[in-house]
C-alpha cells in the first residue's frame, strides 16, 4: 500500500504573545495562512512493524524522533491498526527551522494520508486533536487555509479566505531558537501588537492592502540586534520592490512579503536571490489541493 501527497507550508500573517498559561506554555494569538511552497511525501505500508523516515537531510532524524514518525505512531495508536512497517519518504522543499511550519506540515500530511490509505474516516476535528499531541502548528496544517489560532495554536477559527496574493519568501543565513526567543519575551514590555480585529475585518472586506498594512509579529521585537538588522534588510528589499507588507513568520528567521503584482514579486525574488540562497516564489492557498 503506497500513497503520495504534498505538505504545504504556512506563514503567520500576525503573531501575538498574550501571556503564560497555567501549564507554562505561552498563550498565542496568530493568524496563519497556507502557502504553495510544499514538501513532497510518499508513504509505503508493508507487512511488518515500525515507522521510519527518510529525508536525505543529514541533520533531520530518521527515527521516531521525527515529527512525521510521531504522527504515524499517534495515528496507529488511536486506530489500533498494527502489523505494518511504515516507510515515510520526504522530499524537503520547505526550509528547515525557518518559521514556515515544515515539520508540522509533514506531520499533518501523514495524518491525512494514513486516514485515507486505511479508510478509517477520522474527522478533521479528530485529526486536529491527534495533531496537537505531536506539535502546536499541526492542527492548523491538517486543514490549512486562513485561520485564527489561539492557545498553543490548537484553538482554531476559520476566517474569510485571503485574497489571492503572490508571496516572496526569504530565509537569512542564521537560525532562530524558538525556545530562546520565548525566553526573551516579557509580555508586559511588548511595544507593539497586531491589530487582530482590524485584520479580521480586512479579510472580511477582501482588502489585501488592509491585511498587509496590519501584519505584525511580536517575535521581531526580541531578536538579537544583528539578526534584527538582517530581517530589516530583507523587509526593505521586499517593500522597495512593491510588497504591500512584509514581516517575519513564526519565530523566524524567514521573512515574507505579500504582493498584488506577480511582476513585482518576481523582481523582489530576483533581487534577494543575488544575496540569499534560500528564496522562494509562492502564493496563498485557500484549502489544501488534493486533501
Catalytic residues: 10, 137
In contact, 168 and 272? CB cutoff 8 Å:
yes
SS3 content of the chain, % helix, strand, coil (to 5): 35, 30, 35
Residue that has been written with the C-alpha cell 536525505 in this structure: 56
Please tell me the distance from the alpha carbon of residue 181 to that of residue 204, in angstroms, as a whole number: 32
Cell numbers placing 31: 493568524
Selection from 156, 134, 209, 162 nearest residue 29 by Cα = 156
Q: Where are the alpha helices (DSSP H) in the chain?
A: 67-79, 102-117, 124-132, 138-143, 178-184, 196-204, 208-214, 225-240, 262-273
Amino acid at each position: 500500500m503506497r500513497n503520495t501527497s504534498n505538505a504545504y507550508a504556512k506563514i503567520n500573517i500576525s503573531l501575538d504573545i498574550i501571556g503564560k498559561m497555567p501549564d507554562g506554555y505561552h498563550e498565542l494569538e496568530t493568524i496563519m495562512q497556507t502557502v504553495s511552497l510544499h514538501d513532497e511525501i510518499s508513504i509505503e505500508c508493508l507487512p511488518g512493524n515500525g515507522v521510519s523516515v527518510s529525508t536525505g537531510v543529514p541533520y533531520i532524524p530518521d527515527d521516531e524522533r521525527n515529527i512525521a514518525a510521531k504522527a504515524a505512531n499517534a495515528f496507529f495508536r488511536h486506530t489500533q491498526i498494527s502489523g505494518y512497517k511504515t516507510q515515510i519518504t520526504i522530499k524537503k522543499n520547505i526550509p528547515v527551522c525557518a518559521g514556515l511550519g515544515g515539520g508540522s506540515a509533514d506531520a499533518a500530511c501523514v495524518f491525512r494520508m494514513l486516514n485515507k490509505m486505511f479508510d478509517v474516516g477520522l474527522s478533521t476535528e479528530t485529526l486536529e486533536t491527534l495533531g496537537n499531541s505531536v506539535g502546536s502548528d499541526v492542527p492548523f496544517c491538517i486543514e490549512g487555509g486562513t485561520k485564527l489560532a489561539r492557545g498553543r495554536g490548537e484553538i482554531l477559527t476559520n476566517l474569510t479566505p485571503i485574497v489571492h496574493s503572490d508571496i516572496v519568501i526569504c530565509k537569512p543565513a542564521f537560525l532562530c531558537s524558538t525556545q530562546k526567543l520565548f525566553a526573551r519575551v516579557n509580555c508586559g514590555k511588548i511595544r507593539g501588537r497586531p491589530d487582530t480585529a482590524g485584520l479580521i475585518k480586512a479579510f472580511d472586506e477582501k482588502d489585501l492592502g488592509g491585511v498587509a498594512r496590519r501584519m505584525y509579529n511580536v517575535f521581531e521585537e526580541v531578536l538579537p540586534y544583528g539578526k534584527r538588522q538582517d530581517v530589516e534588510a530583507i523587509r526593505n528589499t521586499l517593500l522597495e520592490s512593491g510588497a504591500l507588507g512584509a514581516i517575519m513568520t513564526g519565530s523566524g528567521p524567514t521573512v515574507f512579503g505579500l504582493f498584488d503584482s506577480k511582476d513585482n514579486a518576481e523582481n523582489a525574488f530576483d533581487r534577494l536571490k543575488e544575496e540569499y540562497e534560500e528564496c522562494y516564489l509562492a502564493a496563498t492557498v485557500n484549502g489544501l489541493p488534493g486533501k
